Amino acid sequence: MHSIGAKKNAGFSVVKLFRCYVDQAVFNLSARRLFPRRPTLYFRSANTVCSCGRRLAVKKTYRRSVASLAIGEFQAHITLLTCPGCQTTYESEELRALVAPNSKFAFDVMVEVGQALFLRCRNAKEIQRELGDKNITISLREIDHLGRRFIVYLALAHKQCQEQLKAFMGARGGYILHLDGTCEGDSPHLMTSIDALSRIVLGNIKLPSENAEQLIPFLHALQQAYGDPIALVHDMGAGILKAVKAVFPGIPDFICHFHFLKDLGNDLFGHDYSAIRRHLKTHGLRSQLRHTAKALKKAIDAEPEILACLHRYLESNPLHEPQRPLMPLVSAYLITSWILEAKQQSHGFGFPFDRPHFDFYRRVQEAYPELHALKQQLSTSACLLPLAPISRTLRDQALSTTVLRMQKKVGTFDQLREAMRIAQPDSKQGLNDEGEADMATIEARVTQLRQSQQIQELAASDLAYRKMIKQIDKYWSKLFADPIQVITETATVTVQPQRTNNILEQFFRDLKRNGRKRSGNHSLTKTLKTMLAETPLVKNLDNPEYLKILLNGKATLAERFAEIDIVQVRRAFSEAQKDTERYPKRMARLFKIPHLPKQLAEVTRKKIANS
């Protein structure tokens, strides 16, 4: 046994020693180790004779500080040559391919900063440390500046390859244009266009608002660059609808099903939901229940037997069928926490698909009888479970009437949601759910619901339902897309436009998540205000086909950017400038269980009856 352990330890030591040698070798070959002092490199043009035939002469020499990833910071000794006859000046081609005029940081440093910021989500201090290890001293302000220059260079390179992108998409049968915008707080609207087939971001613009007058020039620019799309998908914004109709008349135009249902649900019971939220806030029930849950947990922690009962239950499977009857204090704590965590019943779709305030009230309604029974069992601990706040809330006639009215509307909305098979509660993909693609089946189900006697009777007596039917009828032709026949280079293929704009919803979520990760701030108002409009183009760099087109034969982005005229860069750049865990382990699972109070009470009653 000892010899085996010794061999394992010896093997581990050898591996550890080898890693130390590798790390030391890497350190010895680093720019900081190889060049403790800044070296001097000499640059001059490879030309010795002018195009006019005269021999070149030295015009002047000067020094300039440059920093590149290869060797860190160095002094560039530059010799300018000139033609005595035509006065043409010749600069070093090698230096021009390495660094932009009047810039200290080479193209590879700019690309490193840009990719670190926008693809790896590093913040400026992390990048500063990483470049410091490469013998490059850089300020936080310079990192921000290089990041913006990276976007400008990328935007110019993207614009230069639009013809190749158009040909690439044309060979696949064309492109399906998805349009959507995002904003936060009082930030501008960041409007983005993307091809659903190739997943390539085509163009971006920042607008004060989504109105047609500002969107039309943007759509015209897309049309001029890539031609007419084979179809369009977008939300129901009036500005987008008007602009699309003006620029792309006759092009198949479809409404995102997710946005359609979202707007319809908001119109149907958005006012009722706001009223429920206001009533609940007035009663302050959540705050009262949080105090109750804390007091109950403190009492449980003070009694080892009761605490063991809680842990025994949380370790059981399934949770809704505990193996033993629960102590009243434990049941009261579980049910109170279950009410507080009504948001766990949501599925990440947002309102009106998720309705946490409505679900909270329904859980209060359901739990109150069980809590009332438990309070009587608590005897000396009954003061830990005050029920007066719940009773007052449930006696609020205006609130209960609003809940009942919304409950009926939610039932109708969920029927339509089921018919359209989108954002379903049983979906495991959340907002990434694309729903079913069988458009004929979906249309048939919606037709059946739209013409049902139930809907007709509701519309006859309630304005909200009449508006719902009017909304469905208005957008009917834009909701159900037939497959489109397109001709590619090799064959005629059938393309089914996506029935949601999730491709852009996912895109914006990634963009915002990366922005929060990079800045450390939850609010992105400032980020969206200062972000260059073309920043979303960085997502294309994850697409190998796009990257091949963009590089245009070059090996790296640094080489490609070196080809771009500095005058264009300066012009474009100038224009672009204008909590700790609150619950015991595994307890979160019970918050998703429907009708928990009744299930726990029923199991407890059965166990007592059998004992």
Q: Give the pLDDT confidence of 458-480 residue by residue, as tens digits.
A: 999 999 999 999 999 998 988 88
- Give the other-Cβ count within 10 Å of 125's Cβ: 10
Q: Which two tokens stand for residue 265?
A: 């649900």
- The HSE-up count of residue 604 (CA atoms within 13 Å, CB side) is 18
| pLDDT tops 80 at residue 424 | no
Separation CA 123–CA 143 (nearest Å): 9
pTM: 0.73
Q: Which two tokens stand for residue 91?
A: 């600069």
| pLDDT tops 90 at residue 219 | yes
Helix (H, G, I), strand (E, B) or coil at 93: helix
Q: Give the pLDDT confidence of 514-559 residue by residue, as tens digits.
A: 766 666 665 556 666 677 888 889 989 999 999 999 999 999 999 9
Angle, helices 356-378/596-610, rounded to nearest 10 degrees: 30
| pLDDT tops 80 at residue 240 | yes
Most confident of 139-148, 259-268, 270-279: 270-279
**Cα→Cα distances 452→64, 264, 459, 475, Å:** 79, 18, 11, 19
The DSSP 8-state label assigned to residue 457 in this structure reads H
Q: Spell out the alpha helix ranges (H) of 133-196.
A: 140-160, 162-171
Burial class (CB in 10 A: 0-12, 13-18, 19+), 485: exposed
Higher pLDDT, 511 or 448: 448
Q: What is the mean pLDDT of residues 216-239?
A: 92
Give the pLDDT score at 479: 86
C-beta of residue 416 within 8 angstroms of C-beta of residue 261: yes
- pLDDT band (50, 70, 90) for residue 246: very high
C-beta of residue 535 within 8 angstroms of C-beta of residue 204: yes
∠ CA 257-261-263, nearest 5°, is 115
Phi-psi region at 430: left, alpha or beta (left = phi > 0; alpha = psi -120 to 50)? left
64 forms beta bridges with 76
- Which amino acid, residue 197? L
Q: Give the pLDDT confidence of 569-592 residue by residue, as tens digits.
A: 988 888 877 644 556 767 777 888
Q: What is the mean pLDDT of residues 114-120?
A: 90
Q: Give the pLDDT confidence of 298-327 residue by residue, as tens digits.
A: 999 999 999 999 999 988 888 878 878 899
Please give the full DSSP string across 247-313, using - where no structure is assigned. HSTTS-EEE-HHHHHHHHHHHHHHHHHHHHHHHHHHHTHHHHHHHHHHHHHHHHHT-HHHHHHHHHH
**Cα→Cα distances 439→195, 253, 452, Å:** 21, 15, 20
C-beta of residue 381 within 8 angstroms of C-beta of residue 299: yes
Range name among 13-17, 230-234, 246-250 with the lowest pLDDT average? 13-17
Helix (H, G, I), strand (E, B) or coil at 71: coil
Long-range Cβ contacts of 389-394 (<8 Å, 24+ apart): 389/283, 389/284, 389/285, 389/288, 389/289, 390/285, 390/289, 390/364, 392/283, 393/279, 393/280, 393/283, 393/285, 393/361, 393/364, 394/364, 394/365, 394/368
Separation CA 12–CA 87 (nearest Å): 69
Share of the chain above pLDDT 90, in %: 51
| pLDDT tops 50 at residue 1 | no
Separation CA 270–CA 117 (nearest Å): 39
Outline which parts of the chain fall under CATH 3.30.420.10: 162-255+501-551
**Cα→Cα distances 103→68, 143, 145, Å:** 11, 13, 11
C-beta of residue 420 within 8 angstroms of C-beta of residue 435: yes
Q: Spell out the alpha helix ranges (H) of 421-542.
A: 439-450, 453-461, 463-474, 476-479, 502-519, 525-530
Enclosing H/E stretch for 495: strand 492-495
Helix (H, G, I), strand (E, B) or coil at 64: strand
Q: What is the mean pLDDT of the chain?
A: 85
Enclosing H/E stretch for 190: strand 189-195
**Contacting residues for 25 by C-beta, under 8 A, at least 6 apart:** none
| pLDDT tops 80 at residue 29 | no
Q: Which two tokens stand for residue 245?
A: 């109709």
| pLDDT tops 60 at residue 434 | no
Helix (H, G, I), strand (E, B) or coil at 206: strand
- φ/ψ of 254, rounded to 5, equals -125, 150
Kind of pairing, strands 89-90 and 176-182? unpaired
CATH number belonging to the domain at 162-255+501-551, selected among 3.30.420.10, 1.10.1740.10, 2.40.50.100, 3.40.50.720: 3.30.420.10
- pLDDT band (50, 70, 90) for residue 385: very high
- Write down the residue that tokens 């928990």 correspond to: 596
C-beta of residue 61 within 8 angstroms of C-beta of residue 77: yes
**Cα→Cα distances 415→38, 347, 353, 363, Å:** 72, 17, 12, 22
254 forms beta bridges with 233
Range name among 10-19, 64-73, 189-198, 361-370 with the lowest pLDDT average? 10-19
253 forms beta bridges with 232
Q: Give the pLDDT confidence of 167-185 residue by residue, as tens digits.
A: 999 888 899 998 888 777 6
| pLDDT tops 80 at residue 364 | yes
| pLDDT tops 80 at residue 269 | yes
What's the N-to-C CA distance of the chain in angstroms?
A: 53
